[in-house]
């Protein structure tokens, strides 16, 4: 199974729980409708990666940076930087037909994570930043989310459950776009403007 790392300890999530359309400006940039209820989708363990690979079977792929949470005993225990990789052309075709998104969202290496750090502070103070080739592409914080992390967890638990070690991805701010092999990513998670963690990725060709 694929794993994430916290404090040099390996954890093997059973799944990654994702919420879609959670930032107003991101909804607008994709010309989507604001959902009346939370939109969930799941990435399997096989999608988890700690390196950033460009999908070998795709002509284009979009990055979506997200504040990501490690869940233990149904509580947030740690925070990390995550990338929800999306085959946007594929997703658009599936949405037009009212079909599920797995082909666009749940492929191998489609959930890329930094190491996680313990967190017991104020979730509302968390912020994410993404730089590509030293240019700021995405910036967002919890105050901009339509649904806050604890509310997302509560709603998810009305129909499913978190196993210890599962990850919650809390949605992406505006600024998503395409990337290519050789691009350099820097992801940051901040709290009250103080850096909690930073991770660097170089986009690699799939092997």
pLDDT tens string 124-182:
999 999 999 999 999 999 999 999 999 999 999 999 999 999 999 999 999 999 999 99
pLDDT of residue 121: 94
Q: Which residue has the tokens 């930087």?
A: 81
Report the range of poorest mean pLDDT among 33-37, 46-50, 72-76, 100-104.
Answer: 33-37
pLDDT of residue 39: 93
Confidence of residue 25 (pLDDT cuts 50, 70, 90): confident
Q: What span, in angstroms and rounded, lies between the C-alpha atoms of 96 and 90?
A: 10
Q: Is pLDDT at 27 greater than 80 in this prediction?
A: no
**The Cα angle at residue 141 between residues 136 and 142, in degrees rounded to 5:** 160
Q: Is pLDDT at 53 greater than 80 in this prediction?
A: yes
Q: What span, in angstroms and rounded, lies between the C-alpha atoms of 71 and 130?
A: 23
Q: Is pLDDT at 30 greater than 80 in this prediction?
A: no
Domain 4-205 has CATH 3.90.850.10: yes
**Structure tokens of 204?**
């690699």
Residue 28 parent element (H or E): helix 24-29
Q: What span, in angstroms and rounded, lies between the C-alpha atoms of 169 and 151?
A: 13
Give the pLDDT mean for 43-49.
98
Q: What span, in angstroms and rounded, lies between the C-alpha atoms of 24 and 69?
A: 21
Burial of 48 (0-12, 13-18, 19+ CB in 10 A): buried
Q: What span, in angstroms and rounded, lies between the C-alpha atoms of 173 and 139?
A: 7
- Cross-strand bridge partners of residue 72: 75
């Amino acid at each position: 199974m694929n794993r994430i790392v916290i404090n040099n300890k390996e954890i093997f999530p059973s799944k990654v729980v994702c919420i879609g359309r959670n930032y107003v400006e991101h909804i607008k940039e994709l010309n989507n409708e604001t959902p009346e209820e939370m939109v969930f989708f799941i990435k399997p363990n096989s999608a988890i990666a700690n390196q950033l690979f460009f999908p070998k079977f795709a002509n284009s792929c979009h990055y979506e940076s997200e504040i990501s949470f490690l869940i233990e005993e149904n509580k947030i225990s740690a925070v990390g930087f995550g990338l929800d990789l999306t085959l946007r052309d594929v997703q658009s075709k599936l949405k037009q037909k009212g079909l599920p998104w797995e082909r666009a969202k749940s492929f191998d290496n489609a959930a890329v994570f930094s190491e996680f750090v313990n967190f017991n502070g104020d979730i509302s103070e968390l912020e994410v930043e993404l730089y590509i080739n030293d240019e700021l592409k995405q910036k967002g914080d919890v105050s901009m989310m339509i649904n806050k992390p604890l509310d997302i967890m509560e709603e998810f638990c009305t129909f499913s459950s978190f196993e210890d070690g599962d990850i919650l991805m809390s949605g992406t701010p505006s600024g998503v776009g395409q990337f290519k092999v050789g691009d350099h990513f820097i992801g940051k998670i901040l709290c009250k403007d103080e850096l909690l963690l930073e991770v660097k990725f170089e986009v690699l060709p799939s092997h």
